[in-house]
Amino acid sequence: MGIFDFLKPNSGKEFVNERAFDKNRTLQMQMAPKTLEQLYKYDVTEEKELKLEFFFYTNTAEKAEYFATELEKLNYSVHHGISASNKKLFIITGWTNKIKMADDIVANWTERMCEIGYEFDCEFDGWGTNPNQD
């Protein structure tokens, strides 16, 4: 627990417990290289820089808004709102700035997204991209 945790919204029940976080982080770390492997088939190289689209979920509008604000501090474009597929969930989505598509860089970014999501009681639901960005 951090010194400024009292500033974080804590409305509603916990969304991501430690066990779910560990399981999701393992899954995301397995998926990242598979996604990169697919991108490499579209002439994306490890040196190519692409923006990544990311997705998080949580259980209250307050948590979604607070987390969106934190992601904006990373200079990401971020949106949040009610999930279209489940009205009891809130989605936080957006795009990063450009990131090199090297395995280690994407793996480190993926792990960080899992961790920062957990810090704010949001679950990282993965990422995607368009290999044909300008």
**Interval 5-62: pLDDT, tens:** 444 455 558 999 999 999 999 999 999 999 999 999 999 999 999 999 999 999 999 9
* pTM reported for the whole predicted model: 0.89
Residue 65 has pLDDT above 80, yes or no: yes
Q: Supply φ then ψ for residue 126, to 5 degrees.
A: 110, -175
Measured between alpha carbons, how far is residue 103 from residues 7, 24, 106 in Å?
A: 35, 19, 5
* pLDDT of the residue at 13: 84
The span from the CA of 105 to the CA of 113, in Å, is: 12
Q: Is 53 in contact with 113 (CB distance < 8 Å)? A: no
- 112: part of which helix (H) or strand (E)? helix 103-119
Cite the beta strand spans of 74-122 per DSSP E.
Answer: 77-82, 90-95, 99-100
Alpha helices, H only, 41-100:
61-72
Both tokens assigned to 49: 């820089």
